[in-house]
Structure 1
Amino acid sequence: MGLLDGKTILVAGVTMDTSIGFATARVAQEQGATVLISNFGRALGITRRIAGRLPAPAPVLELDVTDPAHLAGLVEQVREHLGADATLDGVVHSIAFGNPETVLGGKFVGAPWEDVAQAVQVSAYSLMSLAHAVRPILTPGAGIVGLTFDATVAWPAYDWMGVAKAGLESCARYLARDLGGDGIRVNLVSAGPLKTLAAKAIPGFDEIDGVWKDRAPLGWDNTDQEPTAKAVCALLSDFFPATTGEIIHVDGGYHAMGA
């Protein structure tokens, strides 16, 4: 019997099979969940191909979280695949973007507002957009889980994406406040640096990654997404019924260490 038996989970933002989103979809299926995944644009074809690498078939939805029409049609898309009375027991927000040419890699001062606004909308505001879009079909006790990278400090090279993640963390707390009356939990998982497609797009990522193994008391494998995926699935399960507005660190303990 799995942690997510009988639950239906949407994992939004799955591109490659090296992503946290893909690992989460796989672990969720292994734990008994029915899983849907999403992407959009040119990446949608890649997502459809890598969906075949999951343990079980998973419907692939087209979803651009910055497109009002996509958000308005999301419930209908879910029900097209799962039936007219389909509901969701969990949603995973595995979505972030910042233009590496303008808002990452030491370009904090002087970054153009248009690109900063895009990073904030895609990486932070979209948590609210996604939650609002699926709220009509979220079951009482449903979980929403997003992915962050510790925004309490300034990291080398992370620049405006760090600001966007700070916005995401604040957004999660306000959503926890406003959705708690419906019994909906909103939490984040703060993972250590992982060699995903998103990480490769960050100029100077190795500067962050290089110190992690030495300072994390449990050590850190930057190629292993499964510990993060397991934490996400645990938060989606019934084992955290009274936890909301929380950030769970999956980083080998790095965040708790001093110099």
Structure 2
Amino acid sequence: MGILDGKTILVAGVTMNTSIAYSVARIAAEQGAKVVVSNFGRAMSLTNRVIQKLDPVPPLIEVDVTDPEHLASLPDRLSEHVDHLDGVVHSIAYANPETAFADGFLTTEWADVAQSLQVSAYSLASLTMACKPLFSDSASVVGLDFDNQVSWPVYGWMGVSKSTLQSVSRYLARYLGPEGVRVNLVAAGPLDTLAKRAIPGSETFNEVWADRAPLGWDTKDYDAAGKAVVALLSDWFPRTTGEIVHVDGGMHSTGA
């Protein structure tokens, strides 16, 4: 028996097998869940190839979190594969790599900032509310985070978006808690994902973690964060909501 036996989970944002979302989808299935994955646009073909490695191969649906029609039709399209949802994993973030990262913070135009905030933070709320009609008596929403208690080099407006994501998760926890919905984040350390490679100068993070993480850090250990997400999706955290679980080798707890 697995800790997700009988549960149905949507994992939104699976793109590569070198990602936390992919690890979540694989581990959740190993732990007994029925998994549905999503992506959108040109990435759909890549996702479709990648998920063929999973057993069983999960259904793939298209969800563009910036498209109101996609969100409005999501319950009906999910219902073609599952009759309810017990959990949602939000692995979605974007900022224009040419303007919103590195040294462009002071000159980034609002259009690029707005896009980053909508895709990376607001979508946690919009996706959750789109899925809500399928929630059972209790449900768990887990977002993927990079802790932004402090400013970071090169991270720019994505750092602001992650701070916003953290606030969105707390307010969702506040308003959805009475309906049995838990909302938490997993803040992972830097991993060699497609998203990280899009950030100019992101190798800086690897150097910081290698020097300061008490438990050490492996930039290719996607399963460490994946297991934390699956644990939060399970019934083993029945009274935990509005929380940020750090899976970063302990780096968040250390000073200079």
Tell me, yes or no, if structure 1 residue 249 matches structure 2 residue 246.
yes
How big is the shift at 1:214? Answer: 2.0
CA distance in 1, matches of 2:49, 2:184: 30
TM-score by length of 2: 0.99
Aligned twin of 1:106:
103
Contact residue 74 and residue 134 of structure 1 kept, 8 A: yes
Which one of the candidate residues 134, 151, 156 is aligned to 2:153?
A: 156
Instruction: Detail structure 1 runs of 4+ shifted over 2 Å in the superposition.
Output: none
Instruction: Name the residue aligned to 1:71.
Output: 71
209, 213, 216: which one aligns with 1:216: 213
- Matched pairs, number: 256
Contact kept, 8 Å, 1:2 with 1:31, in 2: the verdict is yes
**Further displaced range: 243-252 or 45-54:** 45-54
User: Displacement, 1:27?
Assistant: 0.6
Determine whether 1:88 maps to 2:80. Answer: no
Q: Which runs of 5+ in 1 are unaligned?
A: none
Q: What's the CA shift string for 1:67-114, capped at 9, x where partnerless?
A: 0000001111111123xxx00000000000000000012210110110
**Is residue 228 from structure 1 mapped to residue 225 from structure 2 by the alignment?**
yes
More moved, 90-99 vs 54-63 = 54-63
Q: Name 1:10's counterpart in structure 2.
A: 10
Partner residue, 2:139 = 142
Q: C-alpha separation between the residues in 1 aligned to 2:14 and 2:131?
A: 18
Secondary structure of the residue that 1:73 maps to in structure 2?
Answer: helix
1:180 has 2:181 as partner: no
> Identity over aligned residues, as a percent?
60
1:34 maps to which residue?
A: 34
Q: Structure 2: how far apart are the matches of 1:39 and 1:255? A: 30
TM-score normalized by the length of structure 1: 0.98
Deviations 1:162-210 (A, max 9, x none): 0000000000000000100110000000000000000000001011111
Q: After superposition, what is the alpha-carbon deviation per residue over 1:91-142, rounded to whole angstroms, capped at 9, x for unaligned?
A: 0000000000000122101101100000000000000000110111111221
SS state at 2:107 partner: coil
> Is the 8 Å Cα contact of residues 141 and 241 (structure 1) preserved in structure 2?
no
Structure 2: how far apart are the matches of 1:73 and 1:222?
A: 37
TM-aligned CA deviation for residue 36 of structure 1: 0.3
Q: Is 1:168 aligned with 2:181?
A: no
Across the aligned residues of Structure 1 and Structure 2, the Cα RMSD in angstroms comes to 0.7
Letter in 2 for 1:140: D
CA distance, structure 1, for counterparts of residue 32 and residue 81 of structure 2: 18
Deviations 1:139-164 (A, max 9, x none): 12210000110111101100000000
- Counterpart CA distance in 2 for 1:122 and 1:140 is 28
Matching residue's letter, 2:9: I
Counterpart of 1:48, as a letter, is N
Question: Mind listing any 5+ residue stretches in structure 2 that lack a counterpart?
Answer: none
